[in-house]
Amino acid sequence: MAELDLDHTSPDDMRQIDIVKIYNTKKVLVIDDFPEIRGSLKRSLRTFGAQSVETAANGEEAIKLCSNKKFDIVISDYNLGAGKDGQQVLEEVRHLRVLLMTSLFVMLTGESSREMVLGALECQPDDYITKPYTEQSLRTRLNRAIIRHEALLPIKTAISDGDYKVAVERCNEVINAGSRYAKDVIKMKAQLLFLLRYLKDAQDIYENVLEKKPLAWAKIGLGKTFLEQGKLDAAEELFEEIITDDERYIEAHDMLAEVYTRRNDMISAQKATERATSISPKSVKRHRQLAELADVNGDDQVSLKSHQNAIKWGNNSCHESPQDYFNYVRKVADVTDGDKSPESKTLVKQANSYLDRARKRYSNKPDVEAQSLMVESQLEKSQGEMETAQKTLQKAKDSYSKLHLPSTNTSLEFARSLYAMEEEDQARAILNSLAAKHPDDKKLMRVIDGITSEPVSDDGKDVATKLTRSGISAYDKKDFDSAIAVFNDAIAAYPKHVGLNLNLVQAILAQSEALGPNDKSAKMCLRSMRIVGEIKPEDKQFKRFAFIQKQLSKIYPDVMTKLQ
């Protein structure tokens, strides 16, 4: 019998006996929390021709089955009762690589909320079927999805194997054969060329597509290609155009945030990320990114809320992390430092409740217990409870010393706590040790430099020096706006740097003396002076520190009152 020509035959034109033969070779998993629906779907699939059909009643069971057996087709309801939902199952099996592109994932749902629909589409299931459906309509949709999947399987196999060049060759074969799926394959080929860094070739494909029709996927692809080529204005224009046409294209918001980040326009990057999270709020990673941007911009409220959202949406997610709890508590300690107001006490109470939750949720992890004590000591110190903070830090030291191989995050947290309690020598020793173990980890080096009062890495020292010179140059020219902007950028990278914080306060005071005080400047001064803390008379920075305090007393007396 002749082999089926899946590239050219429409699913509507195929004989049912031929489609049955395809089903017959597939191992299928059905996920639904209702036994009667699992049974109904299993019977329908048997009618369609599937011989091997297994079922799972919840997300955890489904992930376990996928980890132990290869399924060709997974059909999952979105709502799975308590625990993981269908979106989180898809996210996790893809994250764990136990369900590759060579398998088909179909989402079933009666949900129609914007949050659910956009969140599910972000995870990119192969097909999406809404309820209610009949057995015939289900058969029709599955037939179409399966036949398309089979036609593209050679390409998907090469991608799953990580052989992108072979995948491009197979794309060319399908396109040259005049397949009915050629348009889908052109999109795949452009994405592969982008991943292979053949940016001009990818650009040519996207531009050829857009000459014929203004498709959003081609605009996003072209925008990403421009971004990687450093053509930021062209990329921004495309992403803005996409969002204007339809704001639901979340990737366009993310890419726009990346454009702003590369321009060092962190406020605009934050706004773009905020829009994305409001449209599709279930991404844990995006909430973390928003918190980081808000921290850079000194937006405490957005930072706190984003850390909370990372905890909320991390529940049952493969991206869940105890670090989200500690990030929130540490941020509360920062925001409430020296503040005894009722609002601060409410935040501290909330932070302590999160610590309790983290300890219960991760009770089997010694690192978590050590870190919880560390951030607890920072929280107590922020409320002026120095004796209690010292005792808690001693418990943290004891806990840390018992760890056989403390994680990088635990060591970083320990250094933060030591700095908070002015045990700088021990903190720097830990950070220097981490830097020596991971000299090529630029992201880690940035984090380390952000904790210390002076950068540890050579790159950090060079950048801090250049920014300091640039800011001082603007200050000497009495361009206080530029000086403040430069020092703010520098402090975003090196928040504990004493010299940079003093430079910022000095520039703000000079501007305020010329133009008059304002609340925003007062808040920046308060934050920087809290970071600087007390400087001893023998320190080389003391004279400048004393002069700045004197100026603060005249221009921002409320700030000095809060610092006392």
- Taking only the tens place, the pLDDT of each residue in 265-278 is 888 999 999 999 99
Indicate whether 357 pLDDT > 90: yes
Q: What is the DSSP string of 253-313?
A: HHHHHHHHHHTT-HHHHHHHHHHHHHHSTT-HHHHHHHHHHHHHTT-HHHHHHHHHHHHHH
Nearest 10 degrees: CA dihedral of 358, 361, 364, 368?
-20
On whether the CB atoms of residues 503 and 530 are closer than 8 A, the answer is: no
- pLDDT band of 11, cuts 50, 70, 90: low
Task: With CA atoms as reference, report the closest residue to 336 among 391, 380, 290.
Answer: 380
Q: How confident is the model at residue 118 (pLDDT cuts 50, 70, 90)?
A: low
Q: What percent of the chain has pLDDT over 90?
A: 73
Q: What is the pLDDT of residue 114?
A: 58
In order, the DSSP letters of 38-77 are HHHHHHHHHHHT--EEEEESSHHHHHHHHHHS--SEEEEE
Which pLDDT does position 8 carry in this prediction? 58
- Residue-level pLDDT at 297: 82
Q: What is the mean pLDDT of residues 104-111?
A: 86
What's the Rg (C-alpha) of the chain?
Answer: 28
- The residue-averaged pLDDT of 329-357 equals 92
Q: Mean of the pLDDT values across residues 76-102?
A: 92
Higher pLDDT, 198 or 124: 198
Taken in order 221, 224, 228, 231, is the CA torsion positive or negative?
positive
Give the pair of three-digit tokens for residue 553: 């007393």
Please report the pLDDT score of residue 117 as a whole number.
59
- Which segment of 34-38, 94-98, 148-152, 336-340 scores lowest on mean pLDDT? 336-340
Task: Tell me the pLDDT tens digit for each residue of 384-429.
Answer: 999 999 999 999 999 999 999 999 999 999 999 998 898 989 999 9
**For position 104, what pLDDT does the model report?**
95
Mean pLDDT (the chain) is 91
Give the residues across from 109 on adjacent strands. Answer: 130
Q: Are 270 and 294 in contact (CB under 8 A)?
A: yes
- % of the chain beyond a pLDDT of 70: 95
- Pairing between strand 73-77 and 27-31? parallel
When pLDDT is averaged across residues 28-34 and rounded to a whole number, the result is 97
Average pLDDT over residues 114-125: 64
pLDDT of residue 19: 84
The structural domains of the chain, ordered by start, are 16-164 (3.40.50.2300), 321-437 (no CATH), 458-563 (1.25.40.10)
187: CB partners within 8 A, 6+ apart: 217, 218, 221
pLDDT at 130 (0 to 100): 85
Q: Are 30 and 45 in contact (CB under 8 A)?
A: yes
The pLDDT assigned to 2 comes to: 42
Quick one: pLDDT at residue 10? 58
Q: Band of the pLDDT at 12, cuts 50, 70, 90? A: low
Per-residue confidence (pLDDT) for residue 478, from 0 to 100: 94
Selected residue with higher pLDDT from 114 and 475:
475
Confidence at residue 495, expressed as pLDDT on a 0 to 100 scale: 83
pLDDT > 60? residue 4: no
Residues 173-188: tens digit of each pLDDT: 999 999 999 999 999 9
pLDDT at 9 over 60: no
Residue 18 has pLDDT above 90, yes or no: no
Has residue 318 got a pLDDT over 50?
A: yes
Mean local confidence (pLDDT), 547-556: 94
Q: What is the pLDDT of residues 181-210, one digit of tens each?
A: 999 999 999 999 999 999 999 999 999 999
pLDDT of residue 1: 36
Residue in 490, 489, 491 with CA at minimum distance from that of residue 530: 491
